[in-house]
Amino acid sequence: MWMQVLELGIVVHSEIIGIALGASEDPSSIKPLVGALTFHQFFEGVGLGGCIPQVRTNNAISSYLIMILFFSLTTPIGIGIGIGISSSYEENSPTALITSGVLDAAAAGILIYMSLVDLLAADFMNPRIQQNAKLQFSAYVSLLVGATCMAIIAKWA
């Protein structure tokens, strides 16, 4: 079940980025969105690719395919929606900002919760890491380096 919630957070997040990219008409805002989209989709795809095989259902193959299709299609569909609404969409209108903010907050909350509670907690509570101080230290350093890199990318994009 937790995997489907993670997938939902990623799908909502990807859809929002796709809509923002499709609705954007200013070249100066498109370049950072393409950069952010590239990093987001790559790292989310790698993370999801590592998690999808952990899904345990009666029909695992169809579940895998559905999850892969959802991840693969949400951003292009979002871009299509963004292009479709670009003539009537005003990026800085209060309605657009509130809607975007609520959807971003929901997606971010789901992703933060899932990453901390279901993904990282399981790794950090692993007996192999718990019993090896060097491994535990390197795991914490890796986590901080990764978070710092993502913060720098977010600041740049």
Q: Which residue has the higher pLDDT, 3 or 23?
A: 23
Read off the tokens for 13.
Answer: 């997040």
- Surface-to-core class of residue 136, CB atoms within 10 Å of its CB (0-12 exposed, 13-18 middle, 19+ buried): middle
Read off the tokens for 69.
Answer: 């299709």
What is the structure's pLDDT at 157? Answer: 57
pLDDT (tens digit per residue) in 54-68? 766 677 677 778 888
Report how far residue 141's alpha carbon sits from residue 129's, in angstroms, rounded to the nearest whole number. 13
Q: Which residue has the tokens 């491994």?
A: 135
pLDDT (tens digit per residue) in 126-153? 898 899 999 999 999 998 998 898 888 7
pLDDT (tens digit per residue) in 94-115? 887 787 778 777 777 777 777 7
Question: Mind spelling out the 3-state secondary structure of the chain?
Answer: CHHHHHHHHHHHHHHHHHHHHHHCCCHHHHHHHHHHHHHHHHHHHHHHHHHHHHCCCCCHHHHHHHHHHHHHHHHHHHHHHHHHHCCCCCCCCHHHHHHHHHHHHHHHHHHHHHHHHHHHHHHHCCHHHHCCHHHHHHHHHHHHHHHHHHHHHHHHC
What is the structure's pLDDT at 1? Answer: 57
Rounded to two decimals, what is the model's pTM?
A: 0.66
Q: Is the model's pLDDT at 3 over the cut of 70?
A: no
